[in-house]
Chain A
Amino acid sequence: MTDLARAGSRASDPADRPKIVRLHPFGLDGARTGPISFATALLLLAAWFLATHYRLVPPLFLPTPQEVATQFLAVVEDGYAGATLWEHVSASLFRIFSAAVIAASLGIPLGLAMGLNRWAKGVFDTPIEFYWPLPPLAYLPLMIIWLGIGEVSKIVLLTLAMFAPVCLSAQAGVRALPIERVNAALSLGASRWQLFRTIVLPSALPEILTGLRIGIGVGWSTLVAAELIAATRGIGFMIMSASHFLATDVVFVGIGIIAAFAFAFSYGMRLLEAWLVPWKGKS
């Protein structure tokens, strides 16, 4: 018995570094994907370069990377379609930002209220469930007829598009609240408002942030589509007018700019999540 036990234990020589192990993870579990993504991006660029270099695709359909880069610099310097690049970008950013702020400041409180209150849920459920499966572009013409071709119709359209995911996720956040947590707070003497402030809101925060992220994604696609149809400024408009002149390289510049901003937003949201809900997924 004793001998067996001794034979099983290894010599504890401090120089003899132990082999560090951990449980086999399932899914990604925080594995690093950055280098892989970077390599993929390089590969795609190389493919693009080769396809244009060997004229596998006519230049009208697919400009070379160099052309796009040159065109980008030209647009930065001279602007495009009657406005500077910054004017296009800031027009788009202004629309999406103001719509996001409005959608969040309406959608989060309303979603929380709908998760907590019979009347709020009863009243607002029907209109939201009715409108949110509609593609925003289906009611864009209505927005233009009602609100004109200016900024208001676009911001209202974007707000509507972003509102639903934010509102639904806030509701889901309340629904996922464990009753024991509520009871614990009540038995510690929480008032209704304190319960809301210290328990309901933080518990729903991870879901709300996810909803915001989805909302902003929906916002980008709706924004560009709306600008394609009705605008005189904005990245979407820039792409649209370039396509009229078959300026594929400018179209690529526009797409690249949208992709860069969408990526930056996504990254920003991830930072926000890490800052606001570092405890997400822990107990």
Chain B
Amino acid sequence: MLQVRNASVFFSARDGRVVHALDRASLDIDANSIVVALGASGCGKSTLLNAIAGFLPLSEGSITLDGQPVANPGADRGVVFQKDTLLPWSSVADNVALGLRFAGVPARERRERAEELLGLVGLEGFADAFPHELSGGMRQRVGIARALATDPKILLMDEPFGALDSLTREQMQELLIDVWARTGKRIFFITHSIEEALFLGTTVVVMSPRPGRIVARFDLDFVRRFAAERDVRAILSAPEFADLYDEIRSLVHRPHAEADSRRAVLQ
């Protein structure tokens, strides 16, 4: 289990002011769950993910993965970035197998594993292509395969489909659900799309900016339903979906009202 406890982050802005990017966020990510963090831009989603990935130390609070404190980046937490970070000089297979190479896995085994993973993300036959020969969606698939290669305990995804067109985006969401259903990986997923959050999350946490904090939490089962029935339309047209959509939408659009009311309660 991944546990985030009272995580706070303060940055210093360029003009010397202190930016309170994350305020006492707490979060549990259990086995077999997809936790989606949803919020407007600037509410601290990336900050939270960077801290979990180990790229950023916390100002206060703690993060543990299966009881071990998280301090540095490591192969137990696979990261998929919004901007693709594939190596332009390496073939797709070599990119996928990068983490295995770091782990000292022999070349032949790396290749086999890479092809297996490329199959999992629907890119059979692209092992010897180069990243610049692929479309944005295909590159993100390679990014997902690469993050899965080291068999991490958790997959961290920072708006991975944010730069894709809506059709590709839907395909990628379904692909991710397939991967999740097949591998049982726990996933922490960031988005600013309410629909994406509802569709993908077993848990959705809504965040609000200045200071970045978690203002609401919803446990959902749309994604399990999709994994079982594979019927997108049934889910999108379900009345619960629409109700939740409206509820979250009003939360995201009036975060301050919500935050203010909570502050009032705290005082």
Contacts and interface: CB of A to CB of B under 8 A. Distances in A.
Given A187-B53, A189-B74, A283 B102 contact: no
A180 B98 contact: no
Nearest to A184: B85
Interface stretch (A125-133, A160-168, A194-202): A194-202
Given A183-B53, A188-B150, A202 B75 contact: no
Contacts of A189: 74-75, 99, 102-103, 150
Given A188-B150, A190-B102, A279-B88, A180 B132 contact: no
A199 to B, nearest CB: 7
Interface string A209-220: 000000000000
Contacts of B73: 183, 186-187
B81 interface: yes
A184 B79 contact: yes
A128 B18 CA distance: 37
Q: Chain B: interface secondary structure?
A: loop
Nearest to B73: A186
A283 B132 CA distance: 6
B81 A180 contact: yes
A45 interface: no
B75 A279 contact: no
Contacts of B75: 187-189
A279 B130 contact: yes
Contacts of A279: 88-89, 130, 132
Given A186-B72, A194-B102, 12 more contacts: A183-B79, A184-B79, A185-B98, A186-B54, A187-B55, A187-B75, A188-B150, A189-B74, A189-B99, A277-B89, A279-B88, A279-B132
Interface of A: 178, 180-181, 183-191, 194, 198-199, 202, 277-279, 282-283
25 contacts: A181-B87, A183-B81, A184-B85, A185-B98, A185-B102, A186-B72, A187-B53, A187-B54, A187-B73, A187-B78, A187-B147, A188-B75, A189-B102, A189-B150, A198-B87, A198-B98, A202-B89, A277-B89, A278-B89, A279-B88, A279-B89, A279-B130, A282-B88, A282-B130, A283-B88
